[in-house]
Structure formats: C-alpha cells, structure tokens
C-alpha cells in the first residue's frame, strides 16, 4: 500500500460526532476540504447531491488533485428508527446511494461509514468483513441497505463499519456517564453486551489514512482495539473522572427494554484493516484515558 493524504476532501454529516473530527483532522493535515452539515447539504436531496459532488470533482480536476468524499451523515437514532422507518431509510440508504451515483459520475472516491448493527449480534468471535450480515433493527437494516447501494453504485467505493462511537461533539455514552456520575449516587449499566468503544478522533484519523491510500474498494472494519461491556466501559469512565467505579452496578439488558434490540456481541475484527496495511486504532482504554486527560471539560457534566 502506498500512502499519501488526499489532496481534496468533501465531508458530509460534518457536524456529527465523527464528521466534526474528520474536519478537525483534515484541518490539522492541511487538506483542502469542503464540509457540509445537513443544513448545507441534505444527502437525501438527489439534485443537491449531484450538483455539489460535481462541483467538488470539477474543482479537484482543475487543481490536479485527487478527490475523496467521506460520508459521516446518518440517521443514528436507533430506537426512533423502529417507528420512523422511512426517514431512517432515506438518510441511511437513499442518501448514500445518491452520493455513490454522484461520485461515479465524476470520478470521486467515496468512503462511507457503516455500523456493527448490520450483524445479528449473536457472535462469539469478532465479526470479519465477509461474515453473514443479519440486522435485527430498522437502523441496522437501513445501514445495510446503504452499504449495498454504495457498493453496487460505485466501483471502488469503500464501506467502513465502526461501533460504539464517542467523542467531544454531540451526545454519547461517555457524556451520559459523566452526567450521571455528577447527579446520582449509583448507576446501573448493562453487562451483557460486548463491543468496542471507538473514539471519533481516532476513527477520523483512520479514515484520512484510508483516504490517502490506494487500498482497493470493499468493506473494512475500524474500531479502537479490544472489547468490553457497557458496564466495564462505564467503570473506566468513572475512573478517568476520578469517581469511584464501585458506584457503577452491573445489570442485564432485560431490565432496559428499548424499542430496538441491541446486539449482545458486536465486536468487529480489524484483521482486514491491518492486512490492507492501515494502522490499527489504539486500544479503547488508552484512547479513553488520553481523550479525557486532554479534553476533560468536554466530557464533564456542567
């Protein structure tokens, strides 16, 4: 694999947890980029997508630059999707299809982000990229439809599945635990769901590395290394906050029934990522300690 940074980047979903970090990483790398939140570019609007991607591709061509679109836009309200199917499919399936078709029309590369929820979640070893999918939720099914639309519409498209994303932007588990640590004596957290917490900034760096590589198209998995349960993750968060992890108590998913079923086991194997010559993301526990030490205020309850 040869590696260089892409010279021009287009980011969709740029105000989300991941999109914000992709933009930050692109800024730090000195890339030329355009970043669109949903207000600037609604990926379900096929005409707007076609025009925006064409302009982007033309500008890159004129400057003699390689052009890569990273799609971080998604409908991520997993429970709401169960009763809001059309909206979930519009953003998670039709939107990526719009992007892939527009990229195919003007020679732009596409990196599309997907999820561990495309798997049934009853595995006993990390899911490989070619393991059978079988989503159990509307969100997961809509994301799988998006993957399929992207791969069918654009030769060389890349789909990167990730999991349990948290970062400084938006609502996420780390911030929820920090708020609960500040407001409740004890917290019950499920100990029967296993996955890999993934720091959005680490994932963003990985996506930029992929964008600058000549790794062929297809599916890859990218999460921070290692696996844990939400309970153990919560204990680690308490510890990083200087709070007593003993205030976190284990419970089971049947005590927290929600509209969308959650996978019991959705660890993603990074074997294909590493085999492609890409740098594995560091262990989740190291990322948590580092991020909370460097950005303590962003995670603490106010």
Ligand X SMILES: NC(=O)c1ccc[n+]([C@@H]2O[C@H](COP(=O)([O-])OP(=O)(O)OC[C@H]3O[C@@H](n4cnc5c(N)ncnc54)[C@H](OP(=O)(O)O)[C@@H]3O)[C@@H](O)[C@H]2O)c1
As measured in angstroms, the least distance from the Cβ of 63 to ligand X is: 25
| Site residues (CB under 6 A) for ligand X, limited to 43-62 | 43-44
Q: Which of 33, 56, 89, 164 binds ligand X (CB under 6 A)?
A: 164
The answer to whether residue 70 forms part of the interface with ligand X (CB under 6 A) is no
* Catalytic residue of the set 33, 117, 127, 139: 139
DSSP labels, 179-248: HHHHH-S-EEEESS-EE--EEHHHHHHHHHHHHTB-PPSEEEE---BS-EEHHHHHHHHHHHHT--GGGE
The answer to whether residue 236 forms part of the interface with ligand X (CB under 6 A) is no
| Placement of tokens 């019950």 in the chain | 188
As measured in angstroms, the least distance from the Cβ of 43 to ligand X is: 4
The answer to whether residue 17 forms part of the interface with ligand X (CB under 6 A) is yes
CA distances from 93 to 67, 98, 139, 152 (A): 23, 9, 10, 12
- Per the DSSP assignment, residues forming a β-bridge with 109 are 68
Q: Which of 72, 103, 190, 215 binds ligand X (CB under 6 A)?
A: 72
Instruction: Tell me the site size for ligand X, rule CB under 6 A.
Output: 29
Whether 33 sits among the annotated catalytic residues: the reply is no
- Per the DSSP assignment, residues forming a β-bridge with 12 are 36, 71
- Identify the CA nearest to 126 among candidates 221, 236, 229: 221
| Site residues (CB under 6 A) for ligand X, limited to 97-156 | 113, 115-116, 143
Q: Which residues are catalytic?
A: 139
Give the footprint of ligand X on this chain (CB under 6 A).
12-13, 15-19, 37-38, 41-44, 72-76, 91, 95, 113, 115-116, 143, 162-165, 170
């Amino acid at each position: 694999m040869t590696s260089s940074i892409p010279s021009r980047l287009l980011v969709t979903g740029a105000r989300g947890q991941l999109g914000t970090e992709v933009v930050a990483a692109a800024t730090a790398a000195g890339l030329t980029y355009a970043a669109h939140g949903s207000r600037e570019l609604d990926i379900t609007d096929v005409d707007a997508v076609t025009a925006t991607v064409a302009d982007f591709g033309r500008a890159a061509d004129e400057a003699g630059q390689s052009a890569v679109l990273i799609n971080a836009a998604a409908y991520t309200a997993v429970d709401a999707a169960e009763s809001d199917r059309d909206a979930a499919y519009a953003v998670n399936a039709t939107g990526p299809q719009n992007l892939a078709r527009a990229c195919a029309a003007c020679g732009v590369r596409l990196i599309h982000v997907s999820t561990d929820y495309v798997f049934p979640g009853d595995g006993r070893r990390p899911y490989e990229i070619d393991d059978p999918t079988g989503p159990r939720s509307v969100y997961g099914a809509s994301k799988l439809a998006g993957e399929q639309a992207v791969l069918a519409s654009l030769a060389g498209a890349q789909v990167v599945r990730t999991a349990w994303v948290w970062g400084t932007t938006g609502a996420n588990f780390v911030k929820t635990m920090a708020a609960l640590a500040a407001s409740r004596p004890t917290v019950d957290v499920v100990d029967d769901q296993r996955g890999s917490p993934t720091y959005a900034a680490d994932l963003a760096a990985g996506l930029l590395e992929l964008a600058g590589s000549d790794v062929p198209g297809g599916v890859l998995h990218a999460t921070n290394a290692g696996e844990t349960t939400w309970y153990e993750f919560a204990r680690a968060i308490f510890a990083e906050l200087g709070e007593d992890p003993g205030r976190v108590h284990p419970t089971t998913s049947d005590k927290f029934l929600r509209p969308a079923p959650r996978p019991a086991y959705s660890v993603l194997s990074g074997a294909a990522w590493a085999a492609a010559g890409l740098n594995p993301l560091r262990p989740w526990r190291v990322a948590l300690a580092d991020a909370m030490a460097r950005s303590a205020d962003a995670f603490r309850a106010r």
